[in-house]
Amino acid sequence: MRAGRDLGALRRRRFVRICGPLERLDDAWMTARAIVDAAVEPSLAVIGDFVVPPAEGPPSRDFQTLHLDFGVPLAPARPMDVARFTALYISADTPRSVAVTRLVPLRSLLSARTWPCPDDLVRRFAEYGNSHGARDDAAGYVEGSLARIAEAALGGTPVLPSVKTHLGFRCGMEFASLAEELTFFARRDLRVDAVTTEVRLEPGELLVFDNLALAHGRRGVRRPGELHQRVFGHRALPVMQQLALRERLLAAFAP
């Protein structure tokens, strides 16, 4: 019965929060696997395991930009790993976090304004990838930053730095603050605050969400080793299947 409720929540809202408490990391990942396996066929691979921020490093900065894990294949050129679901877990013995995860449904955000037709969007993605995409053009253009996806779709002269010309630039550092990120979107008639859900995970809780339906970020500082993240997806997905997944993004732009 519980599994059915969790799957229903995932399909309706594109995310599900498991309050638990789940005492062990293995318990959290087993629960996440059961939810993901119930949502998609065939079974997805684990393509990423992370601790955020790393236990041996400093605390995180006080916000994280909105993004999609592993990126969306906007102009794919070769087989790539593509993330479908992300699971976040805070250990039961960890002190209560001050950080919240921001979840932004792509369709709710993007469909609120007018965009070009899908063919023109694809053309704009390719053009933006040529100037602002990966340094290795042979990889095609895969984009994880929601701000860059929006800027590419809008066309015109980009204002965000290009990783090709700013050699020291690191993806995810497009904005110095949450306010700066929100201003960027608001000036483009994209009201992020109006559609954002914030989730503050308690110790022992698990969050699972659809990585192709929701962009996510963070407000607040995380302590070293605070958050465990597991990413489920397709390993070395062929280009034609990447293009099929890209259709989900294009559909989010439709009115």
Q: Phi-psi bin for 135: left (phi > 0), alpha (psi -120 to 50), beta?
A: alpha
229 pairs with which residues across the strands? Answer: 50, 88
- The alpha carbon torsion through 90, 48, 63, 7 (nearest 10 deg) reads -60
Inter-CA distances, 251 with 109, 125, 176, 247, 255, Å: 12, 15, 30, 6, 9
Residue range(s) defining the domain that contains residue 220: 2-252
Query: Which one is predicted more confidently, 168 or 228?
Result: 228
pLDDT of residue 112: 92
pLDDT tens string 149-174:
999 999 989 999 887 776 677 778 89
* Total count of residues recorded for the chain: 255
Let me know: does 243 contact 76? Beta carbons within 8 Å. yes
For residue 84, count CB atoms less than 10 angstroms from its CB and return exposed for 0-12, middle for 13-18, buried for 19 or more: buried
Question: What is the CATH number for 96?
Answer: 3.60.130
pLDDT tens string 57-105:
999 999 999 999 999 999 999 999 999 999 999 999 999 999 999 999 9
For residue 156, count CB atoms less than 10 angstroms from its CB and return exposed for 0-12, middle for 13-18, buried for 19 or more: exposed
Inter-CA distances, 35 with 90, 125, 188, 216, 232, Å: 18, 33, 36, 19, 11
Query: Which one is predicted more confidently, 139 or 16?
Result: 16
Q: How many Å apart are CA 165 and CA 26, to the nearest integer?
A: 43
Question: What tokens were used for 237?
Answer: 């997905």
Number of domains within the chain: 1
Q: Is the pLDDT of residue 135 over 50?
A: yes
Which residues, 6 or more positions from 36, have their beta carbon under 8 angstroms from its beta carbon? 44, 84, 85, 87, 208, 232
Let me know: does 146 contact 119? Beta carbons within 8 Å. no
Within the chain, what is the greatest distance between any pair of CA atoms? 53
Q: How many Å apart are CA 235 and CA 233, to the nearest integer?
A: 6
